[in-house]
Structure 1
Amino acid sequence: MGISSSLFFDRYDSQKQTLYRRIIPTEDQFEEQQERWSALADHLTSALSEKSGNTITTWLQGSYKFGTQIRPVRAGEEFDIDLGIYFVWEGDPSDGDYGPKALKGMVQESLSDYSSDSVIEVISPPKIRCARIRFKGDFHIDVPAYHLDDERDTRTLATEEDEWEESDPKALYIWFKSSFDDDRRTIVRRQIRYLKTWAALKFSSVDSRPSSTLITVLVAEAAVSLSKERFSEDDDTLQLILGSIVDRLDYDRTVLNPVDPDEDLAGRLEAKEYDSFIDSLKELQKIADEALGEADVSAAADKWSDAFEHFFPLPDVEAIDEEVSKTQHLPVRAFNPEVDVTAVSRDNPNHKWSGRNAIGPIPKNCDIYFQITNSGAMPPNSVVQWMVRNEGDEAEIFNDLGHRAGTGVTAKERSAYRGTHHMDCVVRQYGIVIGRRRIPVRITGMAMARRNPLKLPQWVRLRGRR
């Protein structure tokens, strides 16, 4: 069993800060999305039935349907939901009264007619294969339009280029669901989420990133090749799946759609982008091998953080170091960074707070300065890396669970969300961790009053005297 398995997933405590807990939507976010797509589906079913004269059905697809949706990895990015709209008529797509562009046009028009305070905008012009509507709460719903022949149970996608495209999301879902029993499917879904999060962190551009479908098929087919006995803890399973995927792609770079052998799922990536993806998978495999070979959980967590950044939680470093030194008689570390922390209110710079290796409670909207005070004692060729790891309801609502915070003996951040967060300081020499410090930052829900409050016009200030 991998030494850091409890940091990946804890089957006994769903609220514990694990990698899995940090990359999935909260219950509130999931319920909000569910309410929004359900209401939108009702509207589109009614509106499009009236516009087209056809029977209209809907079907969720993509990561939301597969149970592999992940949290946006950067603040400002959005959750994605795919809601398929199906225009029903018998026969081939060409037997209907409408062409593909006409169907997409009706969907776009009906989205524009949708009235809700939660809507931010309908993207115009629409995407080639779907329309998109954006909602408050950092998520959007993509709405592809299909022809459905109920009798034959066949689906064809309408495109903006006025062409019909072979596409059957239901068949792919049935393939995935039937590939595993319930217990193994749950494990595979977690593995897909890990790889999707890693890919989103590694490839910031959506266009150069491997698609969700490509990752899903690679992970699922690798998992199918594993015997049931080889499914164990999530870190061990991830290592095995990575090894299987890398071996497969070294032998054959083609990844056929399991329900459409004419489609290469890797075909949408340019050759250089696909090369980069495969090389990055090999780097991730190396990280997994090294992490599983570490003797203590802190060192393993540091390795996994190279792949999953701020999403991978750190253990209680001091407690683990104490246990390691007692049981294995190993040196705790070569350098113990001591960090002075100062917070200065942006609203009133006269208000300052300070601490050593911790700070708080402090209000929101403060500049926070971190400085290693004993940097002169660092061994030669040391490199200091800072990482913000946020926790709590507010950070989760804004999908801001952290980020890399730079290198050097100083760092600067800002207080934004209520709760206890951490600035993690790691010191490396020749790539080996020689020191670390977790710095708790406790933030209250209040902001300081402005030093010079905004002056109201005389006629406003006098109103209270009546």
Structure 2
Amino acid sequence: MGLAAKLFYNPEDRENTLAYRVRPSDVQVEEQQERWNDLATFIRERLGSAFGLPVSSWLQGSYKFGTQIRPARTGEDFDIDLGVYLEWPGDADAGDVSPLELKREVQSILDDYAADDANDATGTAEPKTRCNRICFDNDFHIDIPSYHLDRDADVRDLATEDDEWEFSDPKAIYVWWKDQFEGAERDRARRMVRYLKMWAALEFQISSRPSSILITVLVAQSMATIDSESVSGDDEYFRAVVEKVEARMRRSAVVKNPVNSSENLNRLSAEDCAKFVDQLASLRNIADRALGAADQFDSADIWSEAFKHFFPLPKVEEQAVAKSSYHENGMLSVIRYDPDVKITATSGGRRWEGINAVGPIPKGCDVHFAVLSPERFPNGAIVYWTVRNEGAEAEAINDLGHVSGTGFVKDESSAYRGSHFMDVVVKLNGRIIGRRRVIVHVSGLGIPKRNSPRPAWTRLR
């Protein structure tokens, strides 16, 4: 088990783990469930009336697999896949409904649903080749792939914008996934998929990003070949998964659908696929360095190269003494330059100050951070700042922080209630020589206006 294993996954402190920070909150899962249930009912009723045929629906994709991640960047959405099935016996081509006719009817239904203000929908997108899309408040959308279903034969065909039926069976691949693992091993596999998906979301833009199903299949196949006796903890498992996936992709860029050998799940271009493999090699290097780090904080800092602000830091750290000494092996230890940080929060005429901690301060403050006595750092030292947000408000808005850059000063703002961290790391030639976790307590209160105008009846006439 590596030094940072409990920062990957720890049921005893779940909120301070990567496993918790990359997934949607329990509240967000519940909100999404309420929305897709309501939408599914609406579509089934309207589609059944339009064609006079039985209609069913089935949740699929990462939500169904239990591998959904929260948006990695501002402006990106949660993604839910809700399949709708128009049923008739026999082949899809034997029916009276064409693929394009089905997709256009679904689009019309989604437009009507979005037009109702009570549904919290922000609108629909132009139909995609294999699905239709409706977008909602709180940063999520639902993709609606439409199928023909022969229930007796248990065969499905996907309607495409090219007016063709495409053989596709989301249920079969989900059953395959479930059969790969049992119990705790399936839970670990889900976490491995989420870790790799979040890394990919941070590393690649949407247009060049490996798909969720590609990552899911690669992780499942990789875990089946890992010697569980040789690894322990999610950090070591993740390193092993990355190594296996990289080796697999170097052997062949073709990743066959395990339930349909004629389908290649890798739809990346040759150039994007090569970049994916190269970045997997870089990720493996990060994992090796993190697993070989000197202490838990250093290991967490290295993992943060891959997972940015989503990777947590230890809550309690042992600060090294800032003096020169020799280890028993005769090597000179690194002199510590743990920074002290002055925090100044202002709002209107009010002001709060602190050293290494401040608050509680209200929401809406401008917050200035400044390293004290920067002249004591050696030449070439670089100060790195990372914001890590916690709490229900930050989770609801999908803002768990960001990498804030470098320098001796930094400006931020207080936006969410809770305890938040500005993590400061000082490096020289890429090696940590100092660190500080600065805590900012934010209350749920806003700042009332001071000396507000008095009622008219109190003024002199």
| TM-score bracket relative to the smaller structure | over 0.9
CA distance in 2, matches of 1:304, 1:228: 22
Quote the residue 1:143 is aligned against: 144
Superposition deviation, residue 320 in structure 1: 6.2
AA aligned opposite 1:87: L
Superposition deviation, residue 246 in structure 1: 1.4
Quote the residue 2:346 is aligned against: 344
CA distance in 1, matches of 2:11, 2:357: 31
CA distance in 2, matches of 1:221, 1:249: 12
Q: Number of aligned residue pairs: give it.
A: 449
Sort the Cα spacing of 1:11 and 1:445 in 2 relative to 1 into closer, same or farther, 3 A.
closer
Q: Deviations over 1:178-234 (max 9, x none)?
A: 11122211110100000001111111x211111101111111110011244346310
Quote the residue 1:179 is aligned against: 180
Quote the residue 1:229 is aligned against: 229
SS of 1:125's partner is coil
CA distance in 1, matches of 2:221, 2:298: 31
AA aligned opposite 2:74: A
CA distance in 2, matches of 1:361, 1:331: 38
Quote the residue 1:195 is aligned against: 196
Superposition deviation, residue 295 in structure 1: 2.5
Q: Deviations over 1:272-303 (max 9, x none)?
A: 21111111111110111111111310110011
Structure 2 residues without counterparts, runs of 5 or longer: none
Superposition deviation, residue 444 in structure 1: 1.1
Superposition deviation, residue 72 in structure 1: 1.1
Q: Deviations over 1:15-69 (max 9, x none)?
A: x311011111111111111111111111111111111111101111100000000
AA aligned opposite 2:137: K
Greater shift in the superposed pair: 280-289 or 152-161: 152-161
Q: Deviations over 1:377-404 (max 9, x none)?
A: 1112111111000000100110100001
Quote the residue 1:133 is aligned against: 134
Sort the Cα spacing of 1:42 and 1:431 in 2 relative to 1 into closer, same or farther, 3 A.
same
Q: Deviations over 1:94-121 (max 9, x none)?
A: 1111111110111111122224624223
Kindly indicate whether the alpha-carbon contact (under 8 Å) linking 1:119 and 1:133 is maintained by their aligned counterparts in 2.
no
Q: Deviations over 1:284-343 (max 9, x none)?
A: 101111111113101100111111111111013543658xx9xx9896852111211111
Superposition deviation, residue 250 in structure 1: 2.0
Kindly indicate whether the alpha-carbon contact (under 8 Å) linking 1:75 and 1:398 is maintained by their aligned counterparts in 2.
no
SS of 2:405's partner is strand
CA distance in 1, matches of 2:335, 2:156: 61
Q: CA RMSD in A?
A: 2.2
CA distance in 1, matches of 2:123, 2:94: 30
Q: Deviations over 1:66-108 (max 9, x none)?
A: 0000111123322111000001111111111111111011111
Structure 1 residues without counterparts, runs of 5 or longer: none
Kindly indicate whether the alpha-carbon contact (under 8 Å) linking 2:111 and 2:124 is maintained by their aligned counterparts in 1.
no
SS of 2:43's partner is helix
Q: Are residues 1:334 and 2:336 paired?
A: yes
Kindly indicate whether the alpha-carbon contact (under 8 Å) linking 1:387 and 1:424 is maintained by their aligned counterparts in 2.
yes
Q: What's the TM-score once normalised by structure 1's chain length?
A: 0.91
Q: What's the TM-score once normalised by structure 2's chain length?
A: 0.92
Q: Are residues 1:96 and 2:95 paired?
A: yes
Kindly indicate whether the alpha-carbon contact (under 8 Å) linking 1:292 and 1:300 is maintained by their aligned counterparts in 2.
yes
SS of 2:362's partner is strand
AA aligned opposite 1:398: I
Sort the Cα spacing of 1:446 and 1:98 in 2 relative to 1 into closer, same or farther, 3 A.
same
Kindly indicate whether the alpha-carbon contact (under 8 Å) linking 2:290 and 2:298 is maintained by their aligned counterparts in 1.
yes
AA aligned opposite 1:243: E
SS of 2:443's partner is strand
Superposition deviation, residue 450 in structure 1: 4.0
CA distance in 1, matches of 2:258, 2:231: 23
AA aligned opposite 1:225: T
Quote the residue 1:71 is aligned against: 70
SS of 1:360's partner is strand
Greater shift in the superposed pair: 390-399 or 329-338: 329-338
SS of 2:97's partner is coil
SS of 2:249's partner is helix
AA aligned opposite 1:131: N
AA aligned opposite 2:247: D
Sort the Cα spacing of 1:430 and 1:332 in 2 relative to 1 into closer, same or farther, 3 A.
closer
Structure-to-structure mapping, 1:78-93, within 5 angstroms? 78-93=77-92
Sort the Cα spacing of 1:7 and 1:133 in 2 relative to 1 into closer, same or farther, 3 A.
same
SS of 1:229's partner is coil
CA distance in 1, matches of 2:334, 2:30: 45
Greater shift in the superposed pair: 109-118 or 18-27: 109-118
Sort the Cα spacing of 1:109 and 1:402 in 2 relative to 1 into closer, same or farther, 3 A.
same
Kindly indicate whether the alpha-carbon contact (under 8 Å) linking 1:298 and 1:317 is maintained by their aligned counterparts in 2.
no
CA distance in 2, matches of 1:219, 1:101: 35
Identity %: 49
Superposition deviation, residue 170 in structure 1: 0.9
Kindly indicate whether the alpha-carbon contact (under 8 Å) linking 1:230 and 1:237 is maintained by their aligned counterparts in 2.
no
Superposition deviation, residue 258 in structure 1: 1.2
Kindly indicate whether the alpha-carbon contact (under 8 Å) linking 2:387 and 2:402 is maintained by their aligned counterparts in 1.
yes
Sort the Cα spacing of 1:168 and 1:333 in 2 relative to 1 into closer, same or farther, 3 A.
farther
Structure-to-structure mapping, 1:53-452, within 5 angstroms? 53-114=52-113, 115=116, 117-203=118-204, 205-230=205-230, 232-266=232-266, 268-316=267-315, 318-319=317-318, 321=320, 334-345=336-347, 348=348, 350-450=349-449
Greater shift in the superposed pair: 403-412 or 73-82: 73-82
CA distance in 2, matches of 1:22, 1:340: 28
CA distance in 2, matches of 1:452, 1:156: 68
SS of 2:118's partner is coil
